[in-house]
Chains A and B, each alone.
Chain A
Amino acid sequence: MTHRVLVAKVGLDGHDRGVKVVGRILRDAGFEVIYTGLQQTPEMVAAAARDEDVDAIGLSMLSGAHMTLVPRVLDRLREYGLDTPVVVGGIIPGADIPKLEALGVAGVLTPGASVDEIVAAVQGAIARSSAGQPT
């Protein structure tokens, strides 16, 4: 079965090189990739995840606002009753990674992540999620 992945830019940042490259990497790895464009609010991301019935979400965060915006995305997903795993990629200081994971983020990818690491992070998040394990 082909897994569906939403890749999204949340917040005001328009630097979309990373999200586009990651989207293409996932597409080449056999995922069906949905990209909703720029300046998405947490509400818009959660609604797109629900409407598109995706198996995982990849959030691109470069602006430093991840500790504000990522929890909001997670909250909106819970409000919709979704347990879609969320992988965050971008400029995330090392100290914030355990904090994001404690909030329920399924994986964090930082600059320099390889194609294999990106694909494995998304596949792993989907596998753990469908096995009913905590993400």
Chain B
Amino acid sequence: MTVTNRANRARWDEAFEASTLRDVDAETMSGIPLDAVYGPDDGEFPGLFPYTRGPYASMYRSKPWTMRMFAGFGTAEDTNARFKEILRAGGDGLSTAFDLPTLMGLDSDDPRSAGEVGREGVAVDSLADFEDLFRDIELGRVTTSMTINSPASVALAMYVVVAESRGVARHQLGGTLQNDILKEYQAQKEFVFPPRPSVRLVADVISFCAAEMPRWHPVSVSGYHIREAGSTAVQELAFTLANGFAYVEAARRAGLEVDEFAPRLSFFFNAHSDFFEEIAKYRAARRIWARWLKDRYHATDPRSHRLRFHAQTAGVSLTAQQPEVNIARVAIQALSAALGGTQSLHTDSFDEAMALPTEKAARIALRTQQVLVDETGVALVADPLGGSYYVEALTDEIEQRAEDVFAKLDEWGKGSILEGVFAAIDANWFQNEIADAAYRFQQKLTAGRRIVVGTNRYTESDDGDEIPILSIGPEVEETQLKRLSEVKAHRSSDAVAESLAALRRAAAEPSVNLMPPIIEAVKTYATVGEIMAAMGDAFGHHVETPAL
């Protein structure tokens, strides 16, 4: 035991030596030279199992986190312009926000879409919109994240078809599909089909990517929305990792070996205001994932053990009162993600409690990350809080509390986390746990036991209405409806009908992977709504039992 542990430093040295390092002066402002990590030789190290201190030996010495700013509004052309602005300003990855009709698998001309088209994200109806969305962007070079769940398979198919039409092969494409349907039933509620066929679709995407898209992350298991819906940090962590285990089980049921796909699973966590608890949460997440993948799911590839995540600052913590104060909140939350070892980060804009961000507000948010990386030195030393009595104790406690949740779900599922998660969703368990936590938080605010600056204390000089906000006019909907009717007029309706019939047949056959027929349907300019309706014929639709 001692011998193995003493070897930790040597093993880390070896891994660090093998890493490519970026050109940076690793010293303090006083000129004190900095090691890449600090700690006892027999302690935990980044890049070594169980990865508590970080997934890679060299961490930000090789590459700082990716500054991935989430954007999308209006038509595909509008968002394309914002994407180009983000790349010009030094952002290095794209992240696509879709509008609500797209997220719900509805076309812009569906009556239920009225008033929602292009409002919270970009409106996408058919391949034509994806062609506009990524116009003049080098898909072989950028990495693209797509935040979409129920119709995730359709969005991935569109991305593949656009790239291939420009000569970029699917195996060259890098990016992330959120494709995390379980948290939709638990928290964000953008579900369409019932849980089981939805998870089949997730597994189909995982299988497809394992075979054909080695650089793609087929699922971003997301705690972000669980937290925004009101959960605690512990619940966020426990529910998210349980969902991750559920996808591992689903993919294995679909016939994959765990090491074929687990290295490509990624995670998405919230960066909220309780600074040290957030840092401990990220550390606990890595340790739990490593242990479970090794011990429970018998993954042997170290890449399967390594949890990598994206973080976003907490939208729910932003206030409409004295909104400029949000810039401070975002900076502190972003710092927690950096100290917690995130792989990529979106910083919220200070005006987001009121509307989608203006370009200026989004630029300040990006600049906040640049200050962290380039001015503060936090990207020079891995896991700078490792070894802190406080942070280590919190990490252990959060891990233990999460294990209690897994034990409960495992028992519920009779030895299967996947079945446990299904059962708990059916019982509204997650939903109620989250709603209870949200209400407890509200009660603490009301009682003044939790302070939100500018909201329940220091409320003078609220000038919330004085900042400029982005407004999206009705012309977006008109433009998109016109575009959709043009697409429908110019496509071959026979080809569309044929491809949808093939998809419908495939959907009724659980052993068939649905990605190929979805890609064929996309190529005919079948719409998101049509493709989702074809699958819905086989899958049915989910309705939640309302409960306060």
Cβ-defined contact, A37 with B120, below 8 A: no
A2 interface residue (CB < 8 Å to B): no
Task: Give the chain A neighbours of B135 by CB distance below 8 A.
Answer: none
Cβ-defined contact, A112 with B455, below 8 A: yes
Category for how many chain B residues contact A: 35 or more
Task: Give the chain B neighbours of A16 by CB distance below 8 A.
Answer: 189, 229
Query: Which residues from 178 to 219 on chain B have a C-beta closer than 8 Å to any C-beta of chain A?
Result: 184, 188-191
Cβ-defined contact, A93 with B546, below 8 A: no
Cβ-defined contact, A24 with B119, below 8 A: no
Query: Which residues from 55 to 112 on chain A have a C-beta closer than 8 Å to any C-beta of chain B?
Result: 63-65, 67-69, 91, 93-95, 110-112
Cβ-defined contact, B456 with A64, below 8 A: no
B300 interface residue (CB < 8 Å to A): no
Describe A's contact surface by its main secondary structure. Answer: loop
Task: Give the chain B neighbours of A20 by CB distance below 8 A.
Answer: 435, 438-439, 548
Cβ-defined contact, B439 with A41, below 8 A: no
A45 interface residue (CB < 8 Å to B): no
Of the residues B353, B455, B472, B543, contact of A64 by C-beta under 8 Å: B472
Complex: A12 Cα to B191 Cα, angstroms = 10
Describe B's contact surface by its main secondary structure. Answer: loop
Of the residues A7, A25, A67, A111, contact of B442 by C-beta under 8 Å: A25
Cβ-defined contact, B189 with A27, below 8 A: no
Task: Give the chain B neighbours of A112 by CB distance below 8 A.
Answer: 319-321, 353, 452, 454-455
Cβ-defined contact, B320 with A110, below 8 A: yes
Cβ of B116 to closest chain A Cβ, rounded Å: 5
Complex: A110 Cα to B469 Cα, angstroms = 15
Cβ-defined contact, B100 with A11, below 8 A: yes
Cβ-defined contact, B548 with A15, below 8 A: no
Chain A, residues 1-41, CB within 8 Å of chain B (1/0): the string is: 00000010001111111001101110100000101111101
Of the residues A27, A41, A63, A111, contact of B320 by C-beta under 8 Å: A111
Cβ of B520 to closest chain A Cβ, rounded Å: 28
B230 interface residue (CB < 8 Å to A): yes
B465 interface residue (CB < 8 Å to A): yes
Of the residues B115, B190, B191, B548, contact of A68 by C-beta under 8 Å: B115
A120 interface residue (CB < 8 Å to B): no
B113 interface residue (CB < 8 Å to A): yes
Cβ-defined contact, A69 with B115, below 8 A: yes
**A24-B189 contact, Cβ under 8 Å, with A93-B354, A114-B456:** no
Task: Give the chain A neighbours of B439 by CB distance below 8 A.
Answer: 20-21, 24
Chain B, residues 86-125, CB within 8 Å of chain A (1/0): the string is: 0000000000000011011010000011111001100000
Complex: A77 Cα to B115 Cα, angstroms = 19
**A12-B355 contact, Cβ under 8 Å, with A111-B319, A114-B456:** no
Task: Give the chain A neighbours of B548 by CB distance below 8 A.
Answer: 7, 20, 23-24, 27, 33, 35
Task: Give the chain A neighbours of B190 by CB distance below 8 A.
Answer: 14
B544 interface residue (CB < 8 Å to A): yes
Complex: A25 Cα to B446 Cα, angstroms = 11
Given contact pairs A14-B189, A15-B229, A93-B471, a sample of 7 additional A-B residue pairs in the complex whose CB atoms are under 8 Å apart = A11-B100, A20-B438, A21-B230, A35-B546, A69-B115, A94-B354, A115-B446
Instruction: Name 8 interchain pairs, CB-CB below 8 A, sorted by A.
Output: A12-B100, A13-B100, A14-B190, A14-B191, A17-B230, A24-B435, A65-B119, A110-B320
8 shortest interchain CB distances as A-B pairs: A68-B115, A14-B189, A37-B546, A65-B115, A94-B465, A112-B455, A23-B548, A12-B100
